[in-house]
Structure 1
């Protein structure tokens, strides 16, 4: 029988990391605070896979997050939809986004590979629009 205490001790806190990524990176409008969060939450050379692009490095990820917030307006935000789950270094968090108090504009899932308790690779999976 596996030693569950040892097995879980090495696992990162998927929910904390993935929620912090939404809140402190993708919802943060202050570029300095966003950069500090990326330094804390991501490895030195992270890669983010978007549907139409591959983004390499903390600065490039920060730039993508800032441009998204500018594009969609001052009340646009990402919100977790449930609790992140994961094991063996791979975590997922469902999310939704739209204006505060407004309709949900987009939903998706972040899938992250964790290395040393930080995000190394992040896949942004968008759900197709509802019809």
Structure 2
């Protein structure tokens, strides 16, 4: 579970290399993965890849994701808080809550700290 939380954040949403990101998506998520945040809900590998790519394309290259808490894990779910912005000076904070089936992420629910801008 801890590895999947890290992979979701670092191998996918922080990954600026599209080819590597797509390979990670196929490795980490169920094919019908559902991602939701306050902006929208997307389903499937292609939509998830587009979501991550669009986010990274809207921010400066100096923006990075950093883990902002310990990983919280249960038998089929986990959570990880993150910070996003220039290293050491985040402009956005949030939490990802994932559910897992058969060793792959099936849902990602992302929430942001109330009152702050959405990423990108």
TM-score, normalising length: structure 1 = 0.83
Q: 1:114 aligns with which of 91, 100, 105?
A: 100
CA contact (8 A) 1:95 1:107 kept: yes
Structure 1 distance, partners of 2:3, 2:75, is 16
Structure 2 distance, partners of 1:65, 1:31, is 9
Mark the runs of 5 or more structure 2 residues left unpaired by the alignment: none
Going by fraction, where is helix more abundant, 1 or 2?
1
Q: Which residue of 2 aligns with 1:58?
A: 45
How far does residue 52 in structure 1 lie from its aligned partner after superposition? 2.2
How far does residue 117 in structure 1 lie from its aligned partner after superposition? 1.1
What is the alpha-carbon root mean square deviation over aligned residues? 1.2
Q: How many residues align?
A: 116
CA contact (8 A) 1:15 1:83 kept: no
TM-score, normalising length: structure 2 = 0.90
Could you list the structure 1 runs, at least 4 aligned residues long, displaced by more than 4 angstroms after superposition. none
Q: What are the residue-to-residue correspondences of 1:39-50 with 2, within 5 Å?
A: 39-50=26-37
